[in-house]
């Protein structure tokens, strides 16, 4: 077992050696531009891109012409949401289409995009979630109006792992004639996705979450029933059927395609293996420590993700105490902030517990030995920190901390 351990796979994944092997020729000998249609170098590159398109499309039951390569899921989210709003949105007249529905626990790539549009006059509804991180379908239905243009709800949450009922959301959107986008960055390759069965019109994903390279992702955009058209966000050259201009990152695209293929081949077995390891980790920790809370849905969640709150312990201190185990106190995109996780706040988790939360995310190269080692490090670190905590000592003596007047006697 090699230290430090890596249990932060939701932040990013290591490049699978088989993905690197597939990419290498396109970083050296096969360096052609996929848009060069008049010689063999360009033909080789174009063929590789189309093969990758087939590999990605196959995982979600899409047509190859519905796959648009981007720089990653953040760009895909922006292209999907802004592209729909600019193409179909109307803010005047009786047939206005100026309303977007999302949820409070979306990734910042969606929340910030929706907030940007809200500040420019678009009507955005941020649906609340329950203690498990799930939206209420009845609340979603009630939020829909004749003005609703787009629903954007992520599939698997990056912090707590909760899986939303995407199929039911898709059917609801179809019944109301509303476009449906999902950020599937964390779920793609881990759990089955079928864009037809689930009624998904737009879907975002990123290669570096599935053992592919960073800086490459794609957007699925439906071509029929209905055909989804998007306003251009990146002008120049007309690449990707004029939906995303820019010279294609052929090595990255090849890596994404190979990574998608490997996920499809191993998804069922890997999902089962990770679920066992995930439950082994959480059950062992919670069996040895008191005052530990599981955040997120206990059943409907990603097979690799565990988010635990440790009462009377500060998360940053806990991570420093077990610095040979790489974990996270929230999303990698917001980990520089000292604010408690907005996702946990949306669940109703108190600030104290949110500050004492750790996300463990397992992956393809995680072993049982590593899980057991991490469990031991967590248990010993929590016990040590609690021994130094006056709050923990007071709680054990029966003091109700919620009723303590911490300002009493202050001069």
Task: Determine the Cα–Cα distance for residues 305 and 279; give it in Å rounded to an integer.
Answer: 9
Do 291 and 156 fall within a single domain? no
Tokens read off for 2? 């090699």
Q: Is the pLDDT of residue 401 over 80?
A: no
Least confident segment among 35-44, 155-164, 222-231, 329-338: 329-338
Task: Determine the Cα–Cα distance for residues 359 and 159; give it in Å rounded to an integer.
Answer: 7
In whole numbers, what is the pLDDT of the chain averaged over residues? 93
Q: For 291-312, what is the mean pLDDT?
A: 96
Do 231 and 293 fall within a single domain? no
Identify the domain boundary among 208, 241, 263: 263
Task: Determine the Cα–Cα distance for residues 176 and 344; give it in Å rounded to an integer.
Answer: 31
Do 319 and 213 fall within a single domain? no
Do 31 and 140 fall within a single domain? yes
Residue 389, domain member (yes or no): yes
Instruction: Please tell me the total count of domains within the chain.
Output: 2
Q: Is the pLDDT of residue 199 over 90?
A: yes
CATH number of 253's domain: 3.40.640.10
Task: Determine the Cα–Cα distance for residues 353 and 129; give it in Å rounded to an integer.
Answer: 18
pLDDT one-digit tens code per residue, 327-354: 998 644 544 556 789 999 999 999 989 9
Chain-centre distance for alpha carbon 77: 11
Residue 340, domain member (yes or no): yes
pLDDT of residue 90: 84
CB-based burial label for 13 (10 Å; 0-12, 13-18, 19+) = buried
Percentage of the residues of the chain whose pLDDT score is greater than 70: 93
Query: What are all long-range contacts of 245-250, with beta carbons under 8 Å and residues at least 24 apart?
Result: 247/33, 247/34, 247/35, 248/33, 248/34, 248/35, 248/45, 248/49, 248/69, 249/69, 249/71, 249/215, 249/216, 250/26, 250/30, 250/32, 250/33, 250/34, 250/45, 250/48, 250/49
Residue spans of beta strands (DSSP E) within 215-342: 217-221, 292-295, 305-310, 325-326
pLDDT of residue 362: 98
- Dihedral sign computed on CA atoms, order 210, 212, 218, 223: negative
Do 198 and 158 fall within a single domain? yes
Least confident segment among 170-174, 268-272, 338-342, 389-393: 389-393
Residue 404, domain member (yes or no): no
Packing angle of the helix pair 250-288, 368-387 (nearest 10 deg): 50
Domain containing residue 364: 5-9+267-393
Task: Determine the Cα–Cα distance for residues 343 and 160; give it in Å rounded to an integer.
Answer: 8
Identify the domain boundary among 263, 293, 308: 263
Chain-centre distance for alpha carbon 212: 15
Do 168 and 213 fall within a single domain? yes
Residue 289, domain member (yes or no): yes
Tokens read off for 248? 């294609």
Least confident segment among 18-27, 47-56, 255-264, 381-390: 381-390
Task: Determine the Cα–Cα distance for residues 151 and 145; give it in Å rounded to an integer.
Answer: 11
Residue 139, domain member (yes or no): yes
pLDDT of residue 332: 46
Cis (ω within 30 of 0) for the bond into 4? yes
Do 240 and 278 fall within a single domain? no
pLDDT one-digit tens code per residue, 144-172: 999 999 999 999 999 999 999 999 999 99
Task: Determine the Cα–Cα distance for residues 194 and 404; give it in Å rounded to an integer.
Answer: 52
pLDDT of residue 289: 97
Task: Determine the Cα–Cα distance for residues 128 and 217; give it in Å rounded to an integer.
Answer: 29
pLDDT of residue 245: 77
pLDDT of residue 335: 47
Percentage of the residues of the chain whose pLDDT score is greater than 90: 82
Tokens read off for 305? 């993700």
pLDDT of residue 409: 53
Q: Is the pLDDT of residue 273 over 90?
A: yes
Banded model confidence at residue 402, pLDDT cuts 50, 70, 90: low
Total Cβ atoms within 10 A of residue 315: 23
Residue 401, domain member (yes or no): no
DSSP 8-class letter at 15: P
pLDDT of residue 388: 86
CATH number of 344's domain: 3.90.1150.10
Residue 408, domain member (yes or no): no
Identify the domain boundary among 234, 263, 292: 263
Taking every pair of Cα atoms in the chain, the longest distance, rounded to a whole number of angstroms, is 83
pLDDT of residue 398: 65
Do 238 and 353 fall within a single domain? no
Do 360 and 319 fall within a single domain? yes
Do 246 and 277 fall within a single domain? no
pTM of the model: 0.93
Do 232 and 318 fall within a single domain? no
Q: For 346-375, what is the mean pLDDT?
A: 96
Question: Which one of 99-103, 335-339, 389-393 scores highest in mean pLDDT?
Answer: 99-103
- The yes-or-no answer on residue 333 being catalytic is yes
Q: For 48-71, what is the mean pLDDT?
A: 97
pLDDT of residue 227: 96
Do 304 and 355 fall within a single domain? yes
Residue 206, domain member (yes or no): yes
The residues, any chain, with a CB within 8 Å of residue 362's CB and separated by 6 or more, are 7, 9, 274, 277, 278, 281, 304, 305, 371
Q: For 102-125, what is the mean pLDDT?
A: 97
pLDDT one-digit tens code per residue, 237-259: 778 777 787 889 999 999 999 99
């Amino acid at each position: 077992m090699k230290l430090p351990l890596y249990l932060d796979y939701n932040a990013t994944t290591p490049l699978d050696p088989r993905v690197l092997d597939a990419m290498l020729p396109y970083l050296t000998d096969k360096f052609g531009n996929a848009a060069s249609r008049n010689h063999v170098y360009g033909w080789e590159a174009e063929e590789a891109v189309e093969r990758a398109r087939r590999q990605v499309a196959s995982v979600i039951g899409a047509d190859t012409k519905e796959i648009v390569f981007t720089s990653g899921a953040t760009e895909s989210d922006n292209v999907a949401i802004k592209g729909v709003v600019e193409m179909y949105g109307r803010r005047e007249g009786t047939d206005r289409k100026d309303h977007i529905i999302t949820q409070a626990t979306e990734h910042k790539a969606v929340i910030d995009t929706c907030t940007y549009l809200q500040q420019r006059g678009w009507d955005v509804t941020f649906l609340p979630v329950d203690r498990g991180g799930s939206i209420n379908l009845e609340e979603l239905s009630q939020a829909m109006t004749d003005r609703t243009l787009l629903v954007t709800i992520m599939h698997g949450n990056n912090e707590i792992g909760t899986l939303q009922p995407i199929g039911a959301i898709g059917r609801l959107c179809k019944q109301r004639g509303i476009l449906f986008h999902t950020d599937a960055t964390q779920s793609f390759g881990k759990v089955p996705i079928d864009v037809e069965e689930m009624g998904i019109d737009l879907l975002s994903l990123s290669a570096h979450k599935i053992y592919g390279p960073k800086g490459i992702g794609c957007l699925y955009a439906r071509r029929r029933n209905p055909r989804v058209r998007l306003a251009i966000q990146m002008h120049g050259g007309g690449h990707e059927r004029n939906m995303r201009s820019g010279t294609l990152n052929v090595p990255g695209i090849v890596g994404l395609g190979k990574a998608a293929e490997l996920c499809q081949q191993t998804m069922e077995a890997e999902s089962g293996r990770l679920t066992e390891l995930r439950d082994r980790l959480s059950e062992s920790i919670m069996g040895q420590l008191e005052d530990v809370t599981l955040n997120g849905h206990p059943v409907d969640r990603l097979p690799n993700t565990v988010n635990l709150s440790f009462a009377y312990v500060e998360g940053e201190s806990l991570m420093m105490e077990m610095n040979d185990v790489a974990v996270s106190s929230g999303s990698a995109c917001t980990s520089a902030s000292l604010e408690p996780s907005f996702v946990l706040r949306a669940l109703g988790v108190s600030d104290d517990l949110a500050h004492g939360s750790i996300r463990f995310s397992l992956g393809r190269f995680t072993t049982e030995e590593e899980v057991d080692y991490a469990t031991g490090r967590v248990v010993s670190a929590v016990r040590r920190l609690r021994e130094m905590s006056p709050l923990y000592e007071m709680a054990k003596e029966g003091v109700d901390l919620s009723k303590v007047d911490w300002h009493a006697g202050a001069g």
